[in-house]
């Protein structure tokens, strides 16, 4: 599926959840490189950007958006606090995957789907709660957590559905994604990174606490590296299966999380298996400092109240 400059003018990609943290950047990223983009939004310019209303729970609502597309980037936005508490998320997650992939098959034109998965589906401890030396894409110990379960079952269903029907599907396992953002509000991923500064929202504390319990530190990737990885895997002929996208991991202390864990000896930084993506000659452009500092700067420029208040104290 590799595209040169001329091919990009006629290559069409669909981005689902285009108003999410990754989706919004993917749309921008693809348009800047000359691709035609179909972007789907649950609720409803550019001549190369075509918007479609599509709901993951409405059968067939993606048919129009995927018609004529060469590839699909499928990712689901993080849950809001109210959805996290109130919704039954596992069954809808499975239905959403079947809905999108069914439309891909119906299109007759989609050659590959790049599915955005989550690091929350992985665990740095084995079944006996012993730390693993390296975390790779197969470290998926069952976790009794509704959000994590939804991510696990949706990815598993995506690969099962694709395999049974001969659909080419690749998964990008996202770590904590940060850097400049285009959305009007902070995603859960950004809130997790900024929590040591803001101290805001019990919901975010629960996420960070869960990450600490399962992992011991936080894996990071710049939003632009995440987008580049998605496009790279879409167009790399040899890509298959699952790929962890993580430039590095950071200890909680280095993230300024003071007094978070009473027994600090329990904190152990894990190591991600990043070789699989790099074996395809993918290169990260941004390091840890280039991820954290721009996130803080962008949050200040957007005048998010909690962050600005904390930094003035």
- How far is the C-alpha of 111 from the C-alpha of 14, rounded, in Å? 12
Q: Is the sign of the CA dihedral 15, 16, 18, 24 positive or negative?
A: negative
Contact 106, 63 (CB under 8 A): yes
Question: Could you tell me which of 66, 55, 122 has the C-alpha nearest to residue 95?
Answer: 55
State the pairing for strand pair 71-74/112-118. parallel
Q: Which two tokens stand for residue 262?
A: 């009473």
Q: Which two tokens stand for residue 254?
A: 């280095």
Q: Which two tokens stand for residue 180?
A: 């400049």
User: Is 151 known to be catalytic?
Assistant: yes
17: alpha, beta or left? (left if phi > 0; alpha if psi -120 to 50): left
Contact 58, 99 (CB under 8 A): yes
Q: Give Dmax over CA atoms of the chain in angstroms.
A: 58
Question: Could you tell me which of 93, 134, 119 has the C-alpha nearest to residue 173?
Answer: 119
In the sheet that holds 248-251, the strands lie side by side as: 176-178, 217-222, 248-251
For the CA atoms of the chain, what is the radius of gyration?
A: 19
Active-site hit among 151, 262, 274, 276? 151
Q: Which two tokens stand for residue 291?
A: 């991820």
- How far is the C-alpha of 218 from the C-alpha of 209, rounded, in Å? 11
Catalytic residues: 151
């Amino acid at each position: 599926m590799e595209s040169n400059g001329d091919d990009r003018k006629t290559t069409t990609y669909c981005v689902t959840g285009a108003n999410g943290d990754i989706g919004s950047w993917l749309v921008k990223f693809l348009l800047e490189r000359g691709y035609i983009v179909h972007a789907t939004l649950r609720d409803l310019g550019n001549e190369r950007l075509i918007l479609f209303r599509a709901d993951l729970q409405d059968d067939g609502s993606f048919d129009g958006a995927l018609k004529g597309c060469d590839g699909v980037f499928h990712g689901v936005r993080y849950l809001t606090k109210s959805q996290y508490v109130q919704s039954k998320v596992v069954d809808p997650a499975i239905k959403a995957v079947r809905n999108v992939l069914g439309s891909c098959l119906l299109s007759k034109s989609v050659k590959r789907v790049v599915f955005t998965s989550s690091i929350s589906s992985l665990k740095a401890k084995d079944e006996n709660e012993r730390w693993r030396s390296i975390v790779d894409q197969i470290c998926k110990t069952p976790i009794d957590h509704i959000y994590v379960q939804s991510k696990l079952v949706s990815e598993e269903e995506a690969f099962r559905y694709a395999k049974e029907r001969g659909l080419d599907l690749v998964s990008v396992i996202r770590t904590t994604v940060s850097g400049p953002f285009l959305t009007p509000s902070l995603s859960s991923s950004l809130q997790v990174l900024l929590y040591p500064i803001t101290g805001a929202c019990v919901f975010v504390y629960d996420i960070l606490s869960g990450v600490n319990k399962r992992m011991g530190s936080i894996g990071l990737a710049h939003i632009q590296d995440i987008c580049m990885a998605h496009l790279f895997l879409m167009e790399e002929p040899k890509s298959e299966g699952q790929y962890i996208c993580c430039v590095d991991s950071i200890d909680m202390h280095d993230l300024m999380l003071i007094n978070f864990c009473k027994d600090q000896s329990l904190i152990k930084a894990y190591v991600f298996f990043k070789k699989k993506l790099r074996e395809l000659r993918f290169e990260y452009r941004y390091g840890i400092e280039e991820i954290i500092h721009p996130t803080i700067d962008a949050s200040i420029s957007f005048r998010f109240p909690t962050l600005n208040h904390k930094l003035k104290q």
